[in-house]
């Protein structure tokens, strides 16, 4: 497995502002992903964070709203831009490790937009 650290663990933000969430892994991983979990809902895949290139977004998610960076094999950021109360969710980073197919998750970032 891998140790995945997400920062911040929670935040309360004003609408119209942006928040950048960081995901740090303790080892090099092949795949990194970002998920959103809205209140009372399951996890929805936002995008695959590609190392050194633009992220691959799922239907319904766009780069202008959720810009993602992945400068190396152990680190990624997700920015939630121009936030509204509807963006209040838990945002989770997950990683895939060579030789395995399951995903491992960070502890999540609980975002509240007021």
Partner 1 sequence: RKEVEQDPGPFNVPEGATVAFNCTYSNSASQSFFWYRQDCRKEPKLLMSVYSSGNEDGRFTAQLNRASQYISLLIRDSKLSDSATYLCAVNRGSSASKIIFGSGTRLSIRP
Residues near partner 1 (CB under 8 A): 30-31, 33, 41-45, 48, 92, 94-97, 100-108, 110
Q: Count Cα atoms within 13 angstroms, Cβ side, for 36.
A: 18
Smallest gap, in angstroms, from Cβ of residue 20 to partner 1? 19
Which DSSP helix (H) or strand (E) runs through 112? strand 109-113
> Hey, what are 38's tokens?
């809205």
Smallest gap, in angstroms, from Cβ of residue 93 to partner 1? 9
CB-nearer residue toward partner 1: 14 or 59: 59
Smallest gap, in angstroms, from Cβ of residue 79 to partner 1? 20
The 8-class DSSP code of residue 58 comes to: P
Q: What are phi and psi for residue 87, nearest 5 degrees?
A: -85, -5
CB-nearer residue toward partner 1: 14 or 42: 42
Q: Is 65:49 a contact under the CB 8 Å cutoff?
A: no
CB-nearer residue toward partner 1: 83 or 93: 93
Smallest gap, in angstroms, from Cβ of residue 100 to partner 1? 7
């Amino acid at each position: 497995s891998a140790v995945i650290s997400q920062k911040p663990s929670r935040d309360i933000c004003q609408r119209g502002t942006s928040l950048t969430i960081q995901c740090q892994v303790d080892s090099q991983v092949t795949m990194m992903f970002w998920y959103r979990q809205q209140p009372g809902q399951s996890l929805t895949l936002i995008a695959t964070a590609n190392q050194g290139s633009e992220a691959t977004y799922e239907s319904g998610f766009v780069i202008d709203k959720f810009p993602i960076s992945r400068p190396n094999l152990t680190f990624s950021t997700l920015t939630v831009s121009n936030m509204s109360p509807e963006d209040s969710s838990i945002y989770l980073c997950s990683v895939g490790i060579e030789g395995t197919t399951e995903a491992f998750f960070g502890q999540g970032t609980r975002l509240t937009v007021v």
